[in-house]
């Protein structure tokens, strides 16, 4: 029994050291890639770090604890992600990590809730494009109030709440497409009153990107 226990302990140490070597190599690459993604997601100047704390004894997850540290803004020191990131920042960090590791993950469905909280304009458009990129090889569900993000989706589900008399309000989810989707994007752009300008802007946002012109031959 002692010989078997010693052999198992040796095998454990060997496997754990192999995992540690992989973590030592992957941690700086992940930190660099996520930090780069953060710059376009409304966290300019922020940085992401992976901290590997060695353990005195092997644990079920290996020879070290892995912690994610983040500095959301320039000039701030990286701290544990759960202590410094807001809800919207957490969603955007999750998006940055998901995009960075998109070819490695095995999850078939990713859900993002208010991933665009606190951003707008160009950053919102970047969020939409990144979600669209993730959706190429898996299902991505995103709750959003921004037309820049909604316009990047392959499918659009409209969530509405209705109340009748004294009855409790009910929520409904319905797929929309075609002109109905155009009007919904326009409503997200300009409010309940639709104008020709907001409708035209919505159609422009939903139009597929134009293909780059072919180079002329000599």
pLDDT band at 93 (very low <50, low <70, confident <90, very high): confident
Specify the pLDDT at position 16: 93
pLDDT category of residue 122 using cuts at 50, 70 and 90: confident
Residue with tokens 């060695």: 54
User: Could you report the per-residue pLDDT of 65-80, keeping only the tens digit for each?
Assistant: 999 999 988 888 899 9
Name which of 208, 182, 204, 178 is nearest 194 in CA terms: 182
pLDDT of residue 41: 84
Position 212 scores a pLDDT of: 45
């Amino acid at each position: 029994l002692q010989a078997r226990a010693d052999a198992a302990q040796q095998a454990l140490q060997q496997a754990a050291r192999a995992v540690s070597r992989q973590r030592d190599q992957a941690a700086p690459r992940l930190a660099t890639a996520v930090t780069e993604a953060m710059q376009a997601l409304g966290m300019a100047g922020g940085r992401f770090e992976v901290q590997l704390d060695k353990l005195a004894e092997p644990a079920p997850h290996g020879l070290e604890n892995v912690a994610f540290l983040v500095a959301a803004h320039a000039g701030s020191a990286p701290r544990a992600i759960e202590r410094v990131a807001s809800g919207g920042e957490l969603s955007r960090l999750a998006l940055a990590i998901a995009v960075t590791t998109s070819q490695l993950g095995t999850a078939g469905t990713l859900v993002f809730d208010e991933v665009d909280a606190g951003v707008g304009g160009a950053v919102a458009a970047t969020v939409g494009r990144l979600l669209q990129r993730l959706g190429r090889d898996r299902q991505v569900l995103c709750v959003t109030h921004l037309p820049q993000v909604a316009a990047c989706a392959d499918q659009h589900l409209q969530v509405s709440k209705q109340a009748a008399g004294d009855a409790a309000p009910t929520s409904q989810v319905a797929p929309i497409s075609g002109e109905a989707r155009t009007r919904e994007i326009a409503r997200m752009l300009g409010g309940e009153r639709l104008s020709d300008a907001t409708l035209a802007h919505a159609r422009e946002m939903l139009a597929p990107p134009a293909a780059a012109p072919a180079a002329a031959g000599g």
